Amino acid sequence: MSASHKEHLPARPVAWARLLLLIPFVAVLWVPFYNSVQPTLGGIPFFYWYQLLWIILGAVIIAIVYRIEH
């Protein structure tokens, strides 16, 4: 068995990387910041496209945290 012993060790969690997960949470939780109609994007009010943007950014941030930890 010439396989490296490190291949079977569990990944060590990186605490600072998990703090990145707070960014989308705080950005969407702070409603007075994005509670407006203007500016519109393709006729969609800011309130809606801001939330949809954070769905995409949240997925990207989760992928980054996953890559850092594994």
- pLDDT bucket at 2, cuts 50 / 70 / 90: low
CA–CA dist 66, 14 (Å, integer): 10
CA–CA dist 13, 36 (Å, integer): 39
Q: How far is CA 39 from CA 21, 55, 56, in A?
A: 27, 19, 19
Flag the least confident range among 3-7, 32-36, 44-48, 54-58.
3-7
| Domain ranges, residue 65 | 29-70
Number of independent structural domains in the chain: 1
- Domain assignment present for residue 1? The answer is no
Contact 42, 1 (CB under 8 A): no
**Residues 14-36: tens digit of each pLDDT:** 788 889 999 999 999 988 888 88
- Domain assignment present for residue 24? The answer is no
Which residue, 67, 65, 70, is CA-closest to 18?
65
- Domain assignment present for residue 5? The answer is no
Q: Pick the more confident residue, 41 or 15.
A: 41
> pTM for the whole thing?
0.73
Instruction: Average the pLDDT over 47-55 and give the result.
Output: 94
Helix (H, G, I), strand (E, B) or coil at 42: coil
